[in-house]
Each structure stands twice: as C-alpha cells, then as structure tokens.
Structure 1
C-alpha cells in the first residue's frame, strides 16, 4: 500500500475518534464519569478539531498521489469512501443533537448512497469513477458548513448574530443535490450497461 493510500486509511481510522469525542453520551453515564463530563462540555471542540484534521488530509493524500504518481484504483475508491464516512458520521451526530434538521442529513447522506451505488456498479465492471469539479466543490462546502456548525458559528459569532453556519449548511445542501444530479447525468451510461 502506497503512502497516499495509507493517509486515506488513517483518515478512515480518525472517524471512530471523532465519534467518541462527540458529546452524545447519556446523562446518567456522564454524571458518573469525570472524563465524560469533560467530553460533554468540551468534546464538540475536540471533535471539530479531528474533523478538520481529517478533512485536511483529504487534500494531502490527493496531492501526494498526483505528485509521486501513486494514483491507484484502490485510492480512487477509498478516497471518496473516506469522505462519505466522515461526512455521514458528522451529519448523523449533529442531527441527533439537533444542531441541524434531520431532513438535511437524510438528503445529504441519501445522495452519497446513490453515488456509492453508481461507483459500485462501475467498479463491478472494472471502471473507477473519480469525483468531478462539482463534487469537489460540494465537499469543500460540506466541510466548511459542518466545521462551522460544530463550532457553533464561532468565531463568526464574535462579529455577527447571523447564523452563517446554518447558511453554509443550506448552501452545502443545494450543492450536494446539484452535484449528485450532474454525477448521475454524466455517468448514466454506466447504469444502462446491464440493459444491453
């Protein structure tokens, strides 16, 4: 396994750490353990730091893969999978804490399931599909929006009462749907192959 793929796998392994740091523990358990009390108060900031770090490594593994010619079919499949797992985990946890509306999380995660289905169909035919520009832009907005929501609109809250984090989340939602539409449209031939 090359360096780029090792970084991608590391990003996947950071997801359980992100989940464990997220303050979602039952009150009864929190009241009994000092560590969980600390996580209940500050965990979301630790989780945000892990999320941001994991998101940054997405750019790092891509850069290394291109610079050192380490682009592989495994990397083409693992990289978007790592992104989807990280984003989905964050959306589910935030919806569970009512930081975002549940329907927003459902639509965004649903889109990822559909795209993953297309990738699996293509992969079964030994075709590895890469993310297009709209998908990459969607990812940037998702990371920015999730980071802002996790930090409860900080530091923007210091200069304005406007919920920029929620505005970013709805922008990310629109881009998620639009990029999904484009992806399906541009790769429709893959879905039709089994019909001939």
Structure 2
C-alpha cells in the first residue's frame, strides 16, 4: 500500500465506524456506552492522525479535503444527537452547535464558489473540535461533570469560532443590504 493512501484510508475507517458507534448508542445500554466511547475516542484519534500524516507526507488530496471534515462532522453530530436522546446533553446546546456547523459549511462552499480559497480551520475552531470530542468522550464514559464542563466550553468556542469565520468572510455579503 502506498503511504499516500493511508490518510484517506484512516478517514474512510472513521466514516465506517460511525454506523457501529450509532448502533451501540442506539441500543441504549449503559454497558455499551463504554464501547461506543472507545470507538469514538479511536475515531477521534484517526482524525488527528490522518491530518498529521497528510501534512507530514505532503499528500493532501481533494478527497481528504472533502471527506476529513465531513467525517468529523458526521461523527460529532451523530454523537451529540444521540447524547440528547440519552439525556446526557441539552438539546438547545446541541442545536446551536449543529446550526454553527451547517452555517460554516455553507460559508466554506460559498467561498469556494466565489473563487476563494478553502477556509482552513483556525485555532478557535480547532479548540472547539477538541473540546467537543473531550465532552462527548467524558459523557460516554459517564464522567458527567467533566463532560458537561467541556460541553459548555465547546459551546463558547463554537459561537466564537463561528463569529470569527463570518467576520473574516464579511466581504462576501457586502452588497446584501444595499
């Protein structure tokens, strides 16, 4: 196997783990939350690893640019929605996170359509993702207090990073209300 394919294979592995993760949580048995948590942590680690390898080996691909952030969003959004269903996360908070993700994804598409460059994740967005993943893992492992603390920290970074992305792209909307 060529090393160029490894980051994309890690992304595909993360995507393949999502239905298993969803199934385990959907069965709603406390004993399965631990296994779902392990799958979530492993999948989250593949997110870091595939990006690290792609940059190190300079094998960034269009597939990776598309699939990697999509895999992250599918994993995190699935986890958050299921955590609401289990009563581990407040629906209003998860709604804000999901709305921000959709808005920023739309903004990225608009930037590409306008001939701009791909909007890379800035540090607040990276902190948002990291704290979301920590919150989800802690909640799945029934470490509720830590999970709730990181969930609210992630909410702050969700709002701030969303604002930051839109502020940096305000030029796209300059003629909107003339």
TM-score (norm 2): 0.88
**Residue aligning to 1:129:** 119
Structure 1: gaps (5+ residues): 26-38, 155-162
The offset of 1:189, in angstroms, is 3.1
**Residue aligning to 1:169:** 151
The offset of 1:190, in angstroms, is 4.3
The offset of 1:164, in angstroms, is 2.3
**Residue aligning to 1:109:** 98
CA–CA distance in structure 2, aligned partners of residues 179 and 185 of structure 1: 10
Matched, 1:150 2:140: yes
Structure 2: gaps (5+ residues): none
The offset of 1:194, in angstroms, is 9.3
**Residue aligning to 1:87:** 76
Matched, 1:2 2:1: no
CA–CA distance in structure 2, aligned partners of residues 189 and 42 of structure 1: 50
TM-score (norm 1): 0.81
Distance 1:193-1:77 versus aligned 2 partners, 3 A rule = farther
Q: Is the 8 A contact 1:121 1:191 kept in 2?
A: no
CA–CA distance in structure 1, aligned partners of residues 13 and 175 of structure 2: 35
CA–CA distance in structure 2, aligned partners of residues 146 and 193 of structure 1: 40
Matched, 1:185 2:174: no
**Residue aligning to 2:109:** 120
Moved over 4 A (4+): 190-195
CA–CA distance in structure 2, aligned partners of residues 164 and 125 of structure 1: 42
The offset of 1:129, in angstroms, is 1.9
Q: Which has the larger radius of gyration?
A: 1
